Amino acid sequence: MSLGTWEDLLELDRRLTVRIRVAERPGLLRRLAALLAHSGDSWFWLLGLGLLWWRGSDFWRGWAVALVIGIAVTAAVVMATKLLVRRRRPEGEWGRFYRETDPHSFPSGHAARAFMLAVLALDLGPGWLAAVLWVWAPLVALARAAMGVHYLSDVLAGVLLGLVMGAGLARLF
């Protein structure tokens, strides 16, 4: 197969995504992928950061505010891009909430958020947390494709966007 046309690239993307998909396969790998896919949800992070702000020291309060701003700005850029591109999510049953509230897949907001958080943790957070987030972020990105709510190119674009957003926000903060 030549990669001469846009359609060829999209077909290759679809085929590679199908190879890593575990959403329809019962077992431990599916459960782990589902957990990782959900762990990047914005509501989860906003709730956790809200608790950190409420109960944390001055350092953690400032860190929580920076990350909430990062999440909001990244979400706005992701949603604007999704509305411009309008790529439909892959077919599937898992992630019905995502499919109903946001039918567009490009770029992956979860991947963008995860990598933006990891970059900010390198600059603003303690080293141990940065290390944890740098292990976690690629797992979230892959889990989104494995659970069938994104194509691999969606998560790759989300990763790149998250890196850029994190670097820009780190300079701002």
- How far is residue 95's CA from residue 119's CA, in Å, rounded to a whole number? 27
Confidence (pLDDT) at 1: 46
Active-site residue set = 110, 150
CB 37 within 8 Å of CB 137: no
Confidence (pLDDT) at 2: 52
Among 101, 122, 111, smallest CA distance to 167 is for 122
Q: What is the pLDDT along the chain (173 residues), one digit of tens a residue?
A: 455 788 888 888 788 888 988 888 899 999 999 999 999 888 999 999 999 999 989 999 999 999 999 999 999 999 999 999 999 988 888 878 888 888 899 999 999 999 999 999 999 889 999 999 999 999 999 999 999 999 999 999 999 999 999 999 999 88
> Running DSSP on this structure, what letter comes out for residue 95?
T
CA dist list (Å): 19 to 15, 23, 30: 6, 11, 14
Domain ranges in the chain are: 28-172
Token pair in block for residue 6: 């846009």
**pTM to 2 decimals?**
0.90
- How far is residue 42's CA from residue 100's CA, in Å, rounded to a whole number? 16
